[in-house]
Amino acid sequence: MPDPLQPLSAQFKLVATSEALPSNDQRWRNQVDGLLADLKRNAGEVRREITPVPGQKGGIEEIILALSSSGAITAAIAIFRAWLARSADRSIEIEGKVGDRAVKLKLSGQNIDEKTMRLALGLAKE
């Protein structure tokens, strides 16, 4: 029987948002920089992309995260949990594809279970 927690390699787009701070606020940018640094250090391949928004300085910041090992998935989930727990106004939107399956979810709060996250992201089989 296959291991339900066996990962499938995948790439996801992350958008970090705050209800308290606008995306162009330097305090918020510093917080997102911290998330990005933690992911780079512990979860594998990470890059940042900024999509320009007409009439706005800067743009929408997205973090592209490639998860290709069980350790990277575990680390990413731990980082998401810790980062979201620091402030109730934060959330992370995750979007990507695993094989032919589109994945889209929004994380908020502190109760992120690793097995449920793996299943929701399509990185594990039931």
Question: What's the structural domain count of the chain?
Answer: 1
Q: Can you give the CATH number for the domain in which 90 is found?
A: 3.30.70.600
For 67-122, write each residue's pLDDT tens digit: 888 888 889 989 999 999 899 899 999 999 887 889 898 988 766 778 888 787 77
Percentage, residues of the chain above pLDDT 70 = 90
Confidence band, pLDDT 50/70/90 cuts, at residue 35 = very high
Bridge partners, 13 (sequence order) = 64, 95
- Exposure class string for 96-124: b at 16+ Cβ within 10 A, else e: bebeeeeeeeebeeeebeeeebbebbbbb
pTM: 0.79
CA atoms within 13 A on the CB side of 74: 5
Task: Name the residue with tokens 């990185």.
Answer: 123
Domain coverage including residue 33 = 10-121
